A and B are shown apart, each in its own frame.
Chain A
Amino acid sequence: MTGLIWKDFMVSKRTVKAYLGIMIFYAAMTVMGMFSVTFVTAFVSVILIMLPISAFAYDEQAKWDRYAMSLPIGRSRVVGARYLFTLLIVLVSLAFALLAGVAVAVTGKGDLMEVLVSALTTLAAGLLIADVLLPLCYKVGPERARPYLYALVFIPALGLFLAYRMGIHIDTSWLDRMAQSSPAAVLGLFSLPLLAALALTFASYLISCRVAAGKEY
Chain B
Amino acid sequence: MTNCIEIKGLCKSYGDFALKNIDLTLPGGSILGLIGENGAGKTTTIKCILNLIRRDAGEIALLGYDNIKEEQLAKQDIGMVLDECFFHDTLRPRDVGKILAPVYQNWEQGLFRDYLDKFGLPEKKLIKEFSRGMKMKLSLSAALAHRPKLLLLDEATAGLDPVVRDEILDEFLGFIQDEDHAILLSSHITSDLEKVADYIAYIHQGQVVLSDAKDNILDSYGRVGCTAAQLEAIAPADVLRVRKGAFGAEALVADRAAFARKYPMLLVERTTLEDIMLFIGKGEEK
Chain A residues engaging chain B, CB cutoff 8 angstroms: 1-4, 6-7, 10-11, 13-14, 58-59, 61-64, 66-67, 69-74, 216-217
Residue from A11, A59, A66, A73 in contact with B103 in the complex, judged by beta carbons closer than 8 Å = A73
Given contacts A1-B102, A3-B101, A217-B53, contact A70 B82 (CB under 8 A): yes
Contact A11 B91 (CB under 8 A): yes
Stretch at the interface among B71-79, B214-222, B250-258, B263-271: B71-79
> Closest CB of chain B to A69's CB: distance in Å?
6
Output the least CB separation between A153 and chain B (Å).
27
7 A-B pairs in the complex with CB atoms less than 8 angstroms apart? A4-B103, A6-B99, A62-B89, A64-B86, A70-B82, A71-B103, A72-B103
A3 to B97, CA, bound (A): 9
With CB as the reference atom, state the residue of chain A lying closest to B12. Answer: A216
Chain B residues lying within 8 Å of A3, measured Cβ to Cβ, are: 98-103
Q: How distant is the Cα of A217 from the Cα of B54 in the complex, in angstroms?
A: 10
Instruction: Given A71-B75, A74-B71, A217-B52, verify A10-B103 contact (CB < 8 Å).
Output: no
B119 contacts partner chain A, Cβ-Cβ < 8 Å? no
Number of B positions contacting A (CB below 8 A): 29
Residue B115 lies at the interface, judged by CB distance under 8 Å to chain A: no
Residue ID in chain B nearest A58 by CB atoms:
B88
Interface centre among A67, A69, A73, by most B CB within 10 Å? A67
Smallest Cβ-Cβ distance to B101: which chain A residue: A3
Chain A residues lying within 8 Å of B71, measured Cβ to Cβ, are 72, 74
Nearest residue in B to A7 (C-beta to C-beta)? B99
Contact A10 B52 (CB under 8 A): no
A62–B53 CB distance below 8 A? no
The 5 nearest A-B residue pairs measured at CB: A72-B75, A67-B86, A3-B102, A216-B53, A217-B52
Distance of A116 from chain B, by nearest CB (Å): 34
**Which residues of the other chain, A, contact B50 by a CB distance below 8 angstroms?**
69-70
Contact between chains at A4 and B99 (CB < 8 Å): yes
Bound form: Cα–Cα A91–B75 in Å: 33
**Of A1, A14, A59, A72, which is in contact with the most chain B CB atoms at under 10 Å from its CB?**
A72
Q: How far is the CA of A62 from the CA of B95 in the complex (A)?
A: 15
B interface with A by C-beta (< 8 Å)? 47, 50, 52-54, 71-76, 78, 80, 82, 84, 86-91, 95, 98-104
Within the assembled complex, what's the spacing in Å between the Cα atoms of A24 and B191? 58
Once bound together, how far apart are the Cα atoms of A74 and B95, in whole Å?
21
Contact in complex: A217, B88 (CB < 8 Å) = no
* Cα-based distance from A6 to B88 in the complex (angstroms): 13
CA distance A216 to B47 in the complex (A): 9
Q: Is the CB of B95 within 8 A of A72?
A: no
Knowing A3-B101, A73-B103, A217-B53, say if A67 contacts B82 (CB, 8 Å): yes
> Are B102 and A70 closer than 8 Å at their CB atoms?
no
A13, B126: Cα distance in complex, Å? 13
Return chain B residues, CB-CB under 8 Å to A72: 71-76, 78, 103-104
A66 & B82 in contact (Cβ 8 Å cutoff): yes
Closest to B75 in A: A72
Taking A72-B73, A216-B47, A216-B53 as given, write out 6 further A-B residue pairs in contact, using a Cβ cutoff of 8 Å, ordered by the A residue number.
Answer: A58-B88, A62-B87, A62-B88, A67-B87, A70-B80, A216-B52
Q: How far is the CA of A72 from the CA of B103 in the complex (A)?
A: 7
- Complex Cα distance, B96 from A3, in Å, reads 9
Residue on A with the closest CB to B100? A3
Most chain A beta carbons < 10 A, residue from B89, B91, B99: B99
CB distance from A12 to the nearest CB of B (A): 9
Minimal beta-carbon separation of B138 from chain A (angstroms): 12
Report B55 CB to chain A, min CB distance, Å. Answer: 11
Interchain CB contact (< 8 A) of B88 among A1, A4, A64? A64
Closest Cβ of chain B to A76, distance in Å, is 11
For B74, list chain A residues within 8 Å (CB).
72
In the assembled complex, the CB of A213 is this many whole angstroms from the nearest CB of chain B, namely: 10
A10 touches B95 (CB 8 A): yes
Task: State the Cβ distance, A19 to closest chain B Cβ, in Å.
Answer: 15
**Could you say which residues of chain B place their CB within 8 Å of the CB of A59?**
88
- Whether the Cβ atoms of A2 and B76 lie closer than 8 Å is no
Q: Complex: how many Å from CA A64 to CA B84? A: 10
> A63 is contacted by which of B54, B86, B95 (Cβ under 8 Å)?
B86
Contacts of A58 in B (CB 8 A): 88, 90
Residues of A within 8 A of B91 (CB): 7, 10-11
Docked pose: A61 CA to B85 CA in angstroms:
11
Judging by beta carbons under 8 Å apart, are B72 and A73 in contact? yes
